[in-house]
Amino acid sequence: MRLKPDNILSLPARPVPYAVLGSPINHSLSPVMQQAAFDQLGLEARYFRIEVDEEGLAKAVTRLRQVPFGGWNCTVPNKVKMVELCDRRAESAEQFGAVNTVTNEKGVLVGHNTDGTGWSRAMREAFGRGPDEMRIVLLGSGGAGRAIATQAILEKCPELVVANRNPARARDMLAHLNAQFADGPLARTAQNLRMIRWEDEALEKALREADVVVNATSAGLDPKAAPVLQARMIPGNLLVFDSVYGAGCAKFRQEVETAGATWSDGLGMLLHQGAAAFSLWTGQTAPVEIMRRALLSNLPVPTK
Ligand SMILES: NC(=O)c1ccc[n+]([C@@H]2O[C@H](COP(=O)([O-])OP(=O)(O)OC[C@H]3O[C@@H](n4cnc5c(N)ncnc54)[C@H](OP(=O)(O)O)[C@@H]3O)[C@@H](O)[C@H]2O)c1
Q: With the CA atoms of 292, 293, 295 and 300 taken in that order, what torsion angle do they form, in degrees rounded to the nearest 10?
A: 140
Q: Assess whether 79 carries a catalytic annotation.
A: yes
- Distance (angstroms) between ligand 1 centre and the Cα of 176 equals 18
Pick the CATH number of 116-265 from 1.10.3720.10, 3.40.50.12780, 3.40.190.10, 3.40.50.720: 3.40.50.720
Reported in sequence order, the residue ranges of 11-146 that DSSP labels E, i.e. its strands, are: 16-22, 45-51, 71-74, 88-89, 101-105, 108-112, 135-139
- How many CB atoms neighbour CB 156 within 10 A? 13
- Is 2-113+268-297 assigned to CATH 3.90.1150.10? no
- In this chain, the answer to whether the domains covering 2-113+268-297 and 116-265 adopt an identical fold is yes
For residue 270, the ligand 1 atom closest to its alpha carbon is 3
The preferred substitution site among 213, 217, 253, 270 for testing ligand 1, maximizing ligand atoms within 8 Å of CB, is 217
The tens place of each residue's pLDDT in the chain, 304 residues long, gives: 899 999 999 999 999 999 999 999 998 999 999 999 999 999 999 999 999 999 999 999 999 999 999 999 999 999 999 999 999 999 999 999 999 999 999 999 999 999 999 999 999 999 999 999 999 999 999 989 999 999 999 999 999 999 999 999 999 999 999 999 988 889 988 889 999 999 999 999 999 999 999 999 999 888 899 999 999 999 999 999 999 998 889 999 999 999 999 999 999 999 999 999 999 999 999 999 999 999 999 987 644 4
For residues 148 and 138, give the distance between their C-alpha atoms in angstroms, rounded to a whole number: 8
According to DSSP, residue 226 is labeled P
Residues having CB within 6 Å of any atom of ligand 1? 76, 140-145, 164-166, 169, 216-219, 221-222, 225, 228, 243-245, 266, 269-270, 273
Q: With the CA atoms of 28, 29, 32 and 35 taken in that order, what torsion angle do they form, in degrees rounded to the nearest 10?
A: -70
Q: Are 34 and 47 in contact (CB under 8 A)?
A: yes
Domain residue spans in the chain?
2-113+268-297, 116-265
The preferred substitution site among 218, 228, 264 for testing ligand 1, maximizing ligand atoms within 8 Å of CB, is 218
Q: Which residue's CA is the closest to the ligand 1 atom numbered 37?
A: 165
Q: Are 143 and 79 in contact (CB under 8 A)?
A: yes
